Protein backbone atom coordinates (compact mmCIF):
# COMPACT_ATOMS: atom_id res chain seq x y z
CA UNK A 1 0.00 0.00 0.00
CA UNK A 2 1.28 3.57 0.21
CA UNK A 3 3.07 3.42 3.55
CA UNK A 4 6.17 2.16 5.30
CA UNK A 5 6.61 1.87 9.05
CA UNK A 6 3.18 3.39 9.60
CA UNK A 7 3.95 6.47 7.53
CA UNK A 8 1.58 7.87 4.94
CA UNK A 9 3.09 8.70 1.56
CA UNK A 10 1.90 11.55 -0.65
CA UNK A 11 -0.14 9.29 -2.95
CA UNK A 12 -2.08 7.72 -0.09
CA UNK A 13 -2.58 11.11 1.57
CA UNK A 14 -3.93 12.63 -1.65
CA UNK A 15 -6.31 9.69 -2.09
CA UNK A 16 -7.82 10.27 1.35
CA UNK A 17 -7.98 14.04 0.90
CA UNK A 18 -9.70 13.88 -2.49
CA UNK A 19 -12.33 11.20 -1.87
CA UNK A 20 -15.90 12.43 -2.08
CA UNK A 21 -17.84 12.51 1.17
CA UNK A 22 -20.83 10.77 -0.39
CA UNK A 23 -18.75 7.65 -1.02
CA UNK A 24 -17.14 7.72 2.41
CA UNK A 25 -20.10 8.45 4.72
CA UNK A 26 -21.71 4.98 4.50
CA UNK A 27 -18.34 3.41 5.35
CA UNK A 28 -17.81 5.49 8.50
CA UNK A 29 -21.16 5.94 10.20
CA UNK A 30 -23.89 3.76 11.70
CA UNK A 31 -26.72 5.50 9.84
CA UNK A 32 -26.82 7.94 6.94
CA UNK A 33 -29.73 9.37 4.99
CA UNK A 34 -29.78 12.03 2.30
CA UNK A 35 -32.23 14.88 2.90
CA UNK A 36 -34.46 14.71 -0.18
CA UNK A 37 -36.09 18.05 0.68
CA UNK A 38 -32.78 19.98 0.60
CA UNK A 39 -32.41 22.54 -2.18
CA UNK A 40 -28.83 23.83 -2.54
CA UNK A 41 -28.35 27.58 -2.82
CA UNK A 42 -24.78 28.11 -4.07
CA UNK A 43 -23.63 24.83 -5.59
CA UNK A 44 -25.98 22.34 -7.22
CA UNK A 45 -23.64 19.51 -6.17
CA UNK A 46 -24.19 20.19 -2.46
CA UNK A 47 -26.19 17.63 -0.47
CA UNK A 48 -27.49 17.56 3.09
CA UNK A 49 -27.15 14.39 5.14
CA UNK A 50 -28.53 13.25 8.47
CA UNK A 51 -26.29 10.71 10.15
CA UNK A 52 -25.57 8.96 13.39
CA UNK A 53 -22.38 7.60 14.92
CA UNK A 54 -23.12 5.77 18.15
CA UNK A 55 -25.33 8.11 20.16
CA UNK A 56 -24.16 11.26 18.32
CA UNK A 57 -26.23 12.78 15.52
CA UNK A 58 -24.96 15.06 12.78
CA UNK A 59 -26.32 17.16 9.95
CA UNK A 60 -23.70 17.63 7.24
CA UNK A 61 -23.57 19.55 4.02
CA UNK A 62 -21.22 17.97 1.47
CA UNK A 63 -19.83 19.09 -1.85
CA UNK A 64 -17.32 16.61 -3.23
CA UNK A 65 -14.58 16.17 -0.62
CA UNK A 66 -15.67 19.24 1.39
CA UNK A 67 -18.07 19.03 4.31
CA UNK A 68 -19.70 21.31 6.87
CA UNK A 69 -21.35 20.29 10.14
CA UNK A 70 -24.33 22.63 10.41
CA UNK A 71 -24.89 21.96 14.12
CA UNK A 72 -21.31 22.48 15.29
CA UNK A 73 -20.54 25.13 12.64
CA UNK A 74 -17.36 23.33 11.67
CA UNK A 75 -16.13 22.15 8.31
CA UNK A 76 -13.25 20.52 6.59
CA UNK A 77 -12.11 18.75 3.50
CA UNK A 78 -11.28 15.18 2.68
CA UNK A 79 -11.65 11.82 4.30
CA UNK A 80 -9.09 12.36 7.04
CA UNK A 81 -10.82 15.46 8.39
CA UNK A 82 -14.21 13.77 8.06
CA UNK A 83 -13.14 10.62 9.92
CA UNK A 84 -11.47 12.70 12.65
CA UNK A 85 -14.59 14.82 13.09
CA UNK A 86 -17.26 12.12 12.99
CA UNK A 87 -15.41 9.42 14.91
CA UNK A 88 -13.46 11.66 17.34
CA UNK A 89 -10.12 10.28 16.12
CA UNK A 90 -6.66 11.76 15.91
CA UNK A 91 -4.75 11.84 12.60
CA UNK A 92 -3.12 8.41 12.95
CA UNK A 93 -6.36 6.77 14.06
CA UNK A 94 -8.19 8.34 11.10
CA UNK A 95 -5.57 6.97 8.69
CA UNK A 96 -5.93 3.51 10.24
CA UNK A 97 -9.73 3.68 9.91
CA UNK A 98 -9.55 4.79 6.27
CA UNK A 99 -7.11 1.99 5.48
CA UNK A 100 -9.63 -0.46 6.96
CA UNK A 101 -12.70 0.77 5.07
CA UNK A 102 -11.21 1.69 1.67
Q: What is the pLDDT of residues 15-46, one digit of tens each?
A: 999 999 999 999 999 999 999 999 999 999 99
CATH number of 10-101: 3.90.580
- The answer on pLDDT for 1 being more than 90 is no
The residues spanned by each domain of the chain are: 10-101
d(CA 9, CA 30): 29
- pLDDT band (50, 70, 90) for residue 5: low
Q: What is the pLDDT of residues 52-68, one digit of tens each?
A: 999 999 999 999 999 99
pLDDT value at position 56?
98
Note the pTM of the prediction, 2 decimals: 0.91
Amino acid sequence: MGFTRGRVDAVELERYRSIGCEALLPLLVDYVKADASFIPIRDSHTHRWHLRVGDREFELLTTGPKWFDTRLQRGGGGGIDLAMHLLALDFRQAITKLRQVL
